[in-house]
């Protein structure tokens, strides 16, 4: 961003502004607020993070968030194994794995242009477990969530083995081959 603004050889400061564009205009406005005494900050990410090369960017944040929220959900189960969960406790228990699976779907769609129906079904399965959680203890809800994840793992492994036995490439392998062919 600084190089695009003609600034090289030094770190950026709050006085650095760039010309035009929605992203730049928003950053410049935020910098102006800072100059008026409003606490503000601008994080300028490399273009690679928000470009067609998104497989290096934001989608991974959602995957990591899913893992973190899942860990919080497991902490809830450890602390309250016999309680029927509701509200935020229920959301973290089933929402973490659902977010993780949906983020993987988004990443695959972004990178390969294909949809993982198994992971979408798994996310729906996690949400279905959330509906059951109103009538079963937290430990049972966690067990059902793990069962959903194990079914996804099993079906993906089975599908992968069948695909390999037919000599077909996976969506990721096809994507990698297309990158190699274009370079």
Q: What is the pLDDT of residues 42-65, one digit of tens each?
A: 766 655 555 555 555 677 888 889
Average pLDDT, the chain: 83
Span 75-100, average pLDDT: 93
Check residue 46 and give its pLDDT.
Answer: 57
Q: Are residues 25 and 81 in the same domain?
A: no
Instruction: Supply the Cα-derived Rg of the chain in whole angstroms.
Output: 22
Write down the pTM of the prediction.
0.68
96 is a domain residue: yes
174 is a domain residue: no
- Structural domain boundaries enclosing 37: 1-44
Check residue 30 and give its pLDDT.
Answer: 79
Read off the tokens for 151.
């079914």
Q: Are residues 21 and 74 in the same domain?
A: no
8 A C-beta contact, residue 138 and residue 93: yes
pLDDT band at 172 (very low <50, low <70, confident <90, very high): confident
Q: Are residues 66 and 134 in the same domain?
A: yes
Give the number of domains in the chain: 2
Residues whose CB is less than 8 angstroms from the CB of residue 4 and which lie 6 or more positions away in sequence, other chains included: 18
171 is a domain residue: no
Q: Are residues 73 and 158 in the same domain?
A: yes
Residue 133 pLDDT > 60: yes
């Amino acid at each position: 961003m600084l190089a695009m603004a003609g600034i090289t050889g030094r770190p950026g400061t709050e006085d650095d502004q760039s010309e035009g564009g929605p992203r730049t205009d928003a950053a410049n406005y935020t910098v102006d607020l800072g100059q008026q005494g409003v606490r503000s900050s601008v994080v300028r990410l490399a273009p690679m993070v928000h470009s067609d090369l998104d497989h290096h960017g934001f989608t991974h944040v959602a995957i990591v968030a899913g893992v973190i929220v899942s860990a919080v959900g497991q902490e809830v189960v450890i602390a309250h194994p016999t309680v029927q969960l509701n509200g935020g406790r229920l959301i973290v228990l089933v929402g973490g794995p659902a977010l993780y699976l949906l983020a993987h779907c988004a990443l695959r769609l972004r990178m390969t242009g294909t949809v993982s129906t198994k992971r979408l079904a798994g996310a729906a399965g996690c949400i279905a477990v959330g509906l059951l959680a109103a009538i079963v203890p937290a430990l049972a809800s966690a067990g059902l969530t793990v069962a959903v994840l194990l079914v996804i793992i099993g079906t993906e492994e089975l599908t992968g083995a069948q695909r390999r036995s037919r000599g077909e490439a996976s969506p990721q392998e096809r994507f990698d081959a297309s990158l190699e062919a274009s370079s």
